[in-house]
Amino acid sequence: MARRRKIGNAIVYLILIVMSIVWLFPFIGLVLQSFRGEYGGMVNYLVPKEFSLVNYQFLFSDSSKFIRWYTNTLIIALFVALLQTLIVICVSYALSRMRFKGRKALMNIWLVLGMFPGFLTMICLYYLLKQLGLTEAGAVPGLILISVASSGMGYYVCKGYFDTIPKSLDEAAILDGATRAQILVKMIIPLSKPIIIYTALVAFMAPWCDYIFASYVAFGNENGYNVAVAMTRWVWTNDYQGYFTRFCAGGILVAIPVTILFMCLQKYYVEGVTGGSVKG
């Protein structure tokens, strides 16, 4: 029995090691490319012939607005994380704890709305934002507004989590004279740390990858770009030859805060997503 388990474990270790290599390989590639000193285009070897910091120096130099783009994205991500979490909590609480007319219909409609191909409506959203003056130079608040405005539909996981908190707690609190608002603030929220962190984390990560709609909204104004819009130009258009290593360096810089945050909060992320997905 012990022998069989040992063999089994050895196989598992082997699989895990192979998987780790496969999973880490692209990141190692990215890191190595970002330190490549010679010629900036694509190459077909992994290890640079010359290690150097030139690509990072370029990003922080005056000839690139990378810092501006990075700050833009960071601002968007922080605000979206904060406001979106707030809205998701509100919606989830209302749908999980309160019973009102039209609740089921609302949930069904929201479920269905998410299935309409989103980019078809981008041009429409662009004009709504333009009317508010939130395009071009105002792209940052504009993008925050759009992300936050529709975030109510992403309540599934959070509501699922709230559903697992026994309702008897609420009833007891109501008997003690607590209002609904007090129950949410004093009882549900403290019990829901994992799901709140999960929601905020997911919201924080999304803006880093928005390249299509964000480029609509910035409409050619470099000051309104986020990192994804700016950096995908480096690989997709002919105007930026030899920017591949810079792209990798920028990618690493983008990945760092998200990765660190993710590592630190992983425990909550797991608890949140597990607790929430019980009910979807």
Partner 1 sequence: MKKFLAIVLALCLVVALAVPAYAAGDKTLKIWVPDATKEFTEKQVATFMEAHPEYADYAVTVEAVGEGDAASNMLTDLDAGADIFNFAQDQLARLVAAGALIELSEENAAIVAEENDAGSVAAATMGDLVYAYPLTSDNGYFLYYDKSVVSDPGSLEAIVADCEAAGKGFYMEINSGWYQPAFFFGAGCTLTYDTDDTGAFTACNVDYASDAGVGALKAIVALAKSPAFHNGSSIGNATNAAAIVDGTWDSGAAKDLFGDNYACAKLPTFDLNGEAVQMSGFGGFKLLGVKPQTDEEKLALCDELALFLSSGEVQLARFEEVGWGPSNLSAKADEAVQADEALSALGEQLAFDIPQGQYPGDYWSLATALGDSVIAGDYNDADDAALLEALQSFQDTCISYAK
Partner 2 sequence: MGVNAREAGPIARFFRWLGGDLGEIGASFAQGDWKSKLSFLIMGFAQLCRGQWVRGLTMLALEGGILFYVFRFGWDYLRHILTLGVVETHKQGRITVWGDNSFLILLYGLLTIVAILALVYLWRLNIRQNREAEQRLAAGKRLPTNREDLASLFDKNFDKTLLALPVTGIFVFTVLPIIFMICIAFTNYDATHQPPAKLFTWVGLENFKALFGIGGEGFGGTFFYVLGWTLVWAFFATFLTYFLGMAVAIMINKKGIKLKKLWRTILVMTIAVPQFVSLLYVGKMFASDGLVNAYLLKWGWIQQAIPFWDNALYARILIIVINLWIGIPYTMLIVTGLLMNIPAELYESARIDGANAFQTFRKITLPYMLFVTGPFLLTQFIGNLNNFNVIFLLNRGRPQSMSLSNNAGSTDLLVTWLYKMTINDSNYKIAAVIGIMVFLVTAIISLVVYNTMPSVKDEEGFQ
If the CB atoms of residues 36 and 273 are measured against partner 1, the closer one turns out to be 36
Asked if 61 interacts with partner 1 (CB under 8 A), we say no
Distance (Å, whole) CA 234 – CA 228: 10
Q: Quote the tokens at residue 169.
A: 């707690």
Which one of partner 2, partner 1, none is in contact with 220 (Cβ closer than 5 to 8 A by kind)?
partner 1
CB of 5 to partner 2, least distance (A): 6
CB of 255 to partner 2, least distance (A): 4
Closest CA to 234 of 217, 218, 221, 251: 251
Residues in the chain: 280
Buried b (16+ CB within 10 A) or exposed e, 180-203: eeebbeebbeeebebbbbbbbbbb
Using the rule CB under 8 A, which residue among 9, 20, 241, 266 binds partner 1? 241
If the CB atoms of residues 62 and 184 are measured against partner 2, the closer one turns out to be 184
Query: What is the separation of C-alpha 31 from the centre of its chain, rounded to a whole number of angstroms?
Result: 21
Using the rule CB under 8 A, which residue among 133, 212, 256, 277 binds partner 1? 133
Q: Quote the tokens at residue 210.
A: 């928005």
Question: Angle at the Cα of 22 (from 16 to 26), degrees rounded to 5?
Answer: 145
Which one of partner 1, partner 2, none is in contact with 24 (Cβ closer than 5 to 8 A by kind)?
partner 2
If the CB atoms of residues 62 and 263 are measured against partner 2, the closer one turns out to be 263
If the CB atoms of residues 60 and 127 are measured against partner 1, the closer one turns out to be 127
If the CB atoms of residues 45 and 190 are measured against partner 2, the closer one turns out to be 45
Distance (Å, whole) CA 82 – CA 280: 22
CB of 175 to partner 2, least distance (A): 14
Largest CA distance in the chain: 73
Binding site for partner 1 (CB under 8 A): 39-44, 123, 126-127, 130-133, 135-136, 215-216, 219-222, 233, 237-244
